[in-house]
Amino acid sequence: MKLIEQYHELKKKMQTELQAGKLRPEQLFLYQELNYRVDVLETMRDFCQSAPVTCDASVLVTHFRIVDCRGGFR
């Protein structure tokens, strides 16, 4: 099972507990962290799936600057 799938299962369980009012305050912080991790993994997956298939260096450079946090949006 992929990490993202494990996170989705845990998120589903925590959502059920949240809706039932059973999450303690410290568990809400864990839930927030889980949401963050899922969002990061899904965003990176989307960037990988949208990578251009080209030999045009300017297109590739732009894509990888967006993906690489050190490259910024120059």
Residues 55-65 pLDDT 10s: 888 888 887 88
Residue 4 in contact with residue 34, Cβ under 8 Å? no
Tokens of 45: 């997956």
Q: Which of 27, 37, 31, 29 is nearest to 12 (CA)?
A: 31
Within a domain: residue 50?
Answer: yes
Which pLDDT belongs to residue 33? 96
Range(s) of the domain holding residue 24: 3-67
Which pLDDT belongs to residue 32? 96
Residue 34 in contact with residue 72, Cβ under 8 Å? no
Within a domain: residue 28?
Answer: yes
- The list of the chain residues with pLDDT below 70 reads 69-74
Within a domain: residue 31?
Answer: yes
Q: How many domains, in total, are found in the chain?
A: 1
Which pLDDT belongs to residue 65? 81
Which residue shows structure tokens 């297109």?
59
Within a domain: residue 73?
Answer: no
Within a domain: residue 46?
Answer: yes
Which pLDDT belongs to residue 72? 47
Within a domain: residue 11?
Answer: yes
Which residue shows structure tokens 């949240």?
18
